[in-house]
Structure 1
């Protein structure tokens, strides 16, 4: 075993650094001659441990005062520490005895030959007594590093626990969402079955009534045919004449009954259709679930599904037409409602002339307008050829069909519980209407006429008259948008969470018409600013775009997001303008 001499007061430091050590009390002069005699006294002036044999020669041969005393304190004893080879030169295998200050290198007797030209090569025994403060500082720094290592280990344990828990929680969250979707399908299935059963019962009753009526008529005709045959073969001319005259009236009655029965249309086939949202959901595939973790908040499996921030766009004026009283119009047109058909044709609702008009991409009228008895307000394209129109003065909405040859026909009238103003699409089978004189500011309305409320939304305690509030709905964000003209405010309602946000801004003055814009954003007419304000569903102002007209009032964007139509509400000559929308370059 190779050993190294240290003062025992350094024993704790050495133990922390190289492990356990064996402590003995040795005589220093004896160690220089490779003897291992226990020390019994200590020379305080020379800072040297001595055995009894070396004590006398020490005081005789060394100059100076020698304060010799026996030691009892074990902590002041000389120790032998196993340095685990650290006191050996790695190059030559000899004991380290020197230190080259110039090269900051520990040296053995062989290394000294290489460093003989260096100015500061000192013996370890001479400089070692000055290292105690440095070793103490090193000990403290090592203790601090050890504490930091303990903290990191504890943090790793905690992180591992959280990681395991979050992974298990993720699985349960996915299972929970799956169960909700399954339950949603079950509820939808039960609803369809209930509706199908009710429809089947009603249709079966109609079919039965039609069959019974036709069977009764058939039996009567059989009797009449029998009588007619007998009279033709055996009856007198007088009998034949009387019967013929009587049967003329009866035949008319039978023909009327048969005509009515032929007009009754039954639907023997029941089919089911799935919403666009569901088919889109299925097209997404496994990307419907996304993994989030710190440092890379959202992990996507395809770049096409990466979320994008709302972007501004540029507006290029394509066409502008003046709306004035002409031979076509009885009074100056006021286009209260605008909406695009999927094929790009523009639908305009003329409030002043009670008309629904179809326009081409040159803003020229196509076909004959459809004339209403009362003033229409809003319009929305429900499908590729179906429109729904609102009337503020009556609790009714009308469904119109539009042919490819621009023929407009009334399909059905739906009676509703309150008067409504604007209308927009929520889903392929559902719409949203803004109400008049009603504390519930918006309702859902199906194409079948079923009304329902947004039960988890709280609206301001007020009501609106005509033209004071309009609605639009951002389907992908589950966001209902309502404008409040007099309050200069745009309300954003999250219909799933039941939260709301009131958006006010110096650029929003008398907000009127609103519609969904590209990127699931919202465009609002700022009437008194003669501009269009671009908003995110979070209420952030994305941009403001001036328009070449006074008091813009109604607005819509084409299905492909490339065109925008705007009309105004102003005394004098009104305008209808068509703009091209393009993404702004970053």
Structure 2
């Protein structure tokens, strides 16, 4: 058991100091060999007191630089140290003189009475000589922690400064990009206007030439017609016969001139088309710019890179749902129109129950469907929150609907039209392309302001009037390509609306084509109704692939704005379905 001789070892050195300690500094190397020798010098680099004997070996054999200074006294160095009450027992307010190893507790004379039975009770005055190396190690570790804390503070300050600078830099970069885009659009606009003016000059010249030629023909006709009337009224039979024979040749000449004039066509209107990259930017709205946080590795999960080239793809079925009658439905749903909102929600038009429905990625209904007053036909998303629906609210109409983030659908405008429209798709941010029925013009254009125009001056369509759902259209904006399906002719027509050229695509895999939509990489996807499949085509008519479906008679199709999802519904009697597929690049 440790010695319990209760001696106040500090009292002999305390003198008249109140609450202070007088300490004689001893040579530390000597203390390690249990020799008590007064230190005469101090090494600042090693933080060590030395006697004269130990000074020279210390500087010679111990590595490092040694800044040796005289101790504060040759025989004794008294340091007055205020322990701030740490050398007092908190319980008894007496000086601490012992340490109980059993309880790891500093003790005063009063505490010792409680710990007298402990196995190891050390008198601090006897064991303290061995403490200095531990205290020095503790000091160095505290200095290291202090330095690390300083690094933490500097890092915090640097990070905060970096965030402030990043925000300023982000704002500057966005402004720079905005200015570049505005400049680019201004340059594109000037180029476009210049081209339009040049085209106008050339066309005006042709118009005036035709007008002058037509005036001459008309003058000639006036003369001939005037003479013809006189001969009929006053001429003898012989004169009438002679004039009649002469006028046969004259009429041929006039008719030939008229035929030449009929062949000359003019562009009465000009429109502008925007590439898919621009319209996609508008559809994305405020989500068009992504924040990249380097520390957290937040990245822009861009669409898969399918938009640059026309390549085959693979379809993976994600969700399949049957379309039973639910709620207030009078009939089993028939989805005659589909399109994706930019945020990924799916919009569906229920033709039989006259509704517009919002669906999530699991094809579950969101919010309350919008109820039309009459049969809707097709739907297209023209901006991040605006839909155009043909037929809704009146047969010869196009309804503009607004969709909120909480899936509330509101009618914002109703446009009365002169034709009966079926399918609808975007041609530009302000113009749609629509297919008709019971109209000799199978495809027409309509603006968001309700202005209707025709393609007749640049395109030649099949000379037939489609009835019901015998045809549908779509438009590949980046390639200015109009697509028209002819169900009964088993043909897909593709028209270059800039050059006025066209091609008819027929194939054994294209049987009763119905709905069509732009696909990844400036391609076209078409429902082959009687083959129960989807056909993937380039705009030049090359078939990239066919995809059999687990549904009969696919009817309508659409692809998400990022080209990663495809939705398709069918028109089979009694077994109507809706499928959602993932689009991926086909492996080489």
**What is the TM-score of this pair, normalised by structure 2?**
0.49
| Higher relative contact order, chain-length normalized (CA < 8 Å, sep 6+) | 2
Q: What TM-score do the two structures reach when normalised by structure 1?
A: 0.49
